[in-house]
Amino acid sequence: MAAPEIIGSARSTYTHAVRMVCEEKSIDYVLTEKPLRAPEIRAIHPFGKMPVLRHGDFQLFESKAIATYLDRSFPAPYVFPSDPRLAALTEQWVSLVNTLMDHTLIRTYLFAYIAPKTANGEPDRATIEAVMPALREQISVLDKAVAETSYLVGDNLTFADLNLLPILHRVQLAPEGAQALADATYLARYYAQHTTRPSFTRTVPPPRPPDRS
């Protein structure tokens, strides 16, 4: 069967997480770089969200579903635990990050920098200031979660970590996010430890091109 094809942008946190699964499991895969809502993505995802997967004649959307499929389809190491409690905790953290923290940390905070709705295109300071209490609270929750083992679940890497690391990477690119992460002792240590993994360094997105306006 042909190698799995991941269709999406290298700058997407969810595409990044799925690519890290492939790297951790030494899966030979292809990244097809496409923008949000590209026809190739819409052909698989009904709302044009990324990433999507093609593997032979099989097609799939939603990063968690793609990660699960890849983990079950290819040999160890596995990023979803077989133990039911650890598996449930992995699902718990993936769900919390994707449904709540992504909205705060990326869609609200980071987008106020990279996609501001201000008339002059400058960072949306009002939105940034308004979201900071929630950002700090959520960083604090994560800090406590990784304090004991430097993993979100148990004492081994799971998809919960692979799902979170791309988000932390984007957050620390902006000043308040970088400071909040630096102030979170255990989370900063967690981030420094896991971003040295080959799966992260080989998939870290390229820097954004300079503003030529």
Q: Chain-wide mean pLDDT for the chain?
A: 96
Give dist(CA 212, CA 105) in Å, integer: 26
Percentage, residues of the chain above pLDDT 70:
98
- Please report the pLDDT score of residue 209 as a whole number: 55
Q: Where are the domains of the chain?
A: 5-73, 84-201
CATH among 1.10.760.10, 3.65.10.10, 1.20.1050.10, 2.30.30.230 for 84-201: 1.20.1050.10
CATH number of 5-73: 3.40.30.10
Give dist(CA 159, CA 71) in Å, integer: 10
Whole-model pTM: value is 0.95
- Please report the pLDDT score of residue 2 as a whole number: 92
Give dist(CA 167, CA 170) in Å, integer: 5
Give dist(CA 171, CA 65) in Å, integer: 24
Q: pLDDT digit string (tens) for 144-165?
A: 999 999 999 999 999 999 999 9
Amino acid at 116: P
Residue found under tokens 């133990």:
83
Contacts of 196 (CB under 8 A, 6+ apart): none
Q: How far is CA 95 from the centre of its chain?
A: 12
Q: Do domains 5-73 and 84-201 have the same CATH topology?
A: no
Q: How far is CA 211 from the centre of its chain?
A: 25
